[in-house]
Each structure stands twice: as structure tokens, then as C-alpha cells.
Amino acid sequence: DTEVTQTPKHLVMGMTNKKSLKCEQHMGHRAMYWYKQKAKKPPELMFVYSYEKLSINESVPSRFSPECPNSSLLNLHLHALQPEDSALYLCASTLRTTGTGYPDTQYFGPGTRLTVL
Amino acid sequence: AQTVTQSQPEMSVQEAETVTLSCTYDTSESNYYLFWYKQPPSRQMILVIRQEAYKQQNATENRFSVNFQKAAKSFSLKISDSQLGDTAMYFCAFMENRNQGGKLIFGQGTELSVKP
């Protein structure tokens, strides 16, 4: 089973709200990723967690705060977002990171469509 | 820095025909991995096919096959017997073997429309 689940599917929030996106996988993968994607554009990497530790932060504004409570779960906490943050947020996971010298295929979730008013 | 270029922003093909999507990349590495992902209007990103650079044999998955030209740094995707369900945005992606964290470098995408 190569399934990554994301909740909620859709989220509308105001600029003063605090909300969270959730991503879950039960494939035993040890690397998890957050991407931001605008319409008809490629995904942009935001964060990478490897063995529950943040390994890559692509200079993302602090209003986005990732959290990896365990190897199956990845959260993205949102606070004081701007309208330009409206996008599709994708989560992905791989069995292991390339630190082992053997990169694995990234499997993506269906995404959360976020609208910031 | 590694880059991936998809020179065809949009393409269309008649149902049952064959279409080829192009992708070129730039890297100084000798060992790396290439992927084609499909993203239909539902927006779920789905892996289509994967190629390891050390393998000379081109990867195939049912109606999907690649033409991997390592010296030319070219990685095109051929879709045979196109179906309406193949309508999607297709992204070519590159991952180098030694990259920490498995960072994917995506091309800008090719929007493919399959017409009945």
C-alpha cells in the first residue's frame, strides 16, 4: 500500500487564524516532506524530516511551522498567513533518505487546498 | 546547480495515438535518478516511471516508456495508445544520489490534453 493521507482536503482561513494541516503514512517511511504548489506550477519544497528530525528548511517564513511527532505523522502549523500563501499543500514520504546513498521514490498525498482570505 | 527543463508547456494528442514529452536536465553528477510524475485535474501527484542513471536499459511501465540519453542529458516520456485518463500535467524530476534528504528538482511541467 503506497498511501499518504492528508487532512483536511480544503481549508479556508483568515489572516489572523491558527490552523494545522495533517499528513499520515503507515508504510514505514522515514522521510517526510512538505511542498507548496501554485496552479500549473511545479511543487516547491518547504521542509524535509528525516527520522523525525528536520533536515531541510527551504527558507520558509516562520508563519509556517512544521512538526513531526512520530515517524508516521507530519503536521504543518499555520499562523498569520497572507493571501499569497493560498495554494495546494502536498505531503510526500519515502522509505529512506539519500543519506544512505540510495534515494527512494517519493509518494505524494492528495494535498490540502488552502485559501487565505 | 541541477536544473530540469521541459520545453513544451502544452501538448495535445488524439485518443489512441502516441505522444512524446521531452525533458532535459543539467548535472555534473554521474549517479542520479529521474522520474516522471503525472498530476491529473484531481491534483494527486502520481509516479509514472523512474529511471536510474546507471542503468542503460530504458524503463517501461505498460503504455509508458522513456528514452534515456545520458550523454545528451535527455529523458523523454512516450505514451502509447493515449487514453482520456492520461489528460494531466506531467512533471519531469531529478534527484541526485548523494543529495541529503532526497530533494527532487522538478521541471516546469507539460500540460497534456488527450482528445476523443
> How far, in Å, CA of A42 to CA of B89, rounded?
9
Is residue B32 within 8 Å of residue B53, measured between CB atoms? yes
Q: How far apart are CA A101 and CA A8, in angstroms?
A: 34
Question: Which residue in the block uniquely carries the three cell numbers 499518504?
Answer: A4
For residue A75, is pLDDT > 60?
yes
pLDDT at B68: 95
User: Roughly how many angstroms between the first and final C-alpha of chain B, as a whole number?
Assistant: 41
Are B107 and B23 in contact, with CB atoms under 8 Å apart?
yes
Q: How far is A113 from chain B (nearest CA, A)?
A: 10
pLDDT at res. B63: 96
**Number of DSSP helices (H) and strands (E) in chain B, helices first:** 0, 12
pLDDT at res. B99: 56
Say yes or no for a CB contact (<8 Å) between B106 and A99: no
With contact defined as beta carbons under 8 Å apart, do B82 and B18 qualify?
yes
Helix (H) or strand (E) holding B13: strand B10-14
* Res B113 pLDDT > 70: yes
Chain A environment of B110 (Cβ under 8 Å) = none
Tell me the one-letter amino acid at A58.
Answer: E
Q: Pairing relation of β-strands A44-50 and A107-108?
A: unpaired
Asked if B98 lies within 8 A of A98 by C-beta distance, the reply is yes
pLDDT for A2 equals: 64
In this structure, what is the dihedral angle of CA atoms B28, B33, B38, B44, given to the nearest 10 degrees?
A: -110
Write out pLDDT tens, residues B67-110.
999 999 999 999 999 999 999 999 999 987 665 567 889 999 99
**Residues belonging to chain A:** 117
Nearest-CA distance B49 → chain A (Å)? 10
| Whether the Cβ atoms of residue B22 and residue B7 lie closer than 8 Å to each other | yes
Q: Which among A41, A90, A98 is the nearest to B99, CB-wise?
A: A98
The per-residue pLDDT for range B18-67, each reduced to its tens digit, is 999 999 999 888 888 899 999 998 778 999 999 988 888 899 999 999 99
Core vs surface per residue A23-43: b (16+ CB within 10 A) or e: bbbeeebbbbbbbbbeeeebb
Which pLDDT band holds residue A45 (cuts at 50, 70, 90)? Answer: very high
Sheet strand arrangement including A4-7 = A4-7, A18-25, A73-79, A64-70
User: With an 8 Å Cβ cutoff, are A98 and B104 in contact?
Assistant: no
In the predicted structure, residue A99 carries a pLDDT above the cut 70? no
In whole angstroms, give the CA distance from residue A7 to residue A109. 10
Chain B residue whose CA is closest to A32: B101
* Cβ separation B101–A99 shorter than 8 A: yes
**Sign, Cα dihedral of A33, A49, B2, B32:** negative
Q: Are B6 and B23 in contact (CB under 8 A)?
A: yes
Q: Which DSSP string do the residues of B64-77 spell out, in sequence order?
A: EEEEEETTTTEEEE
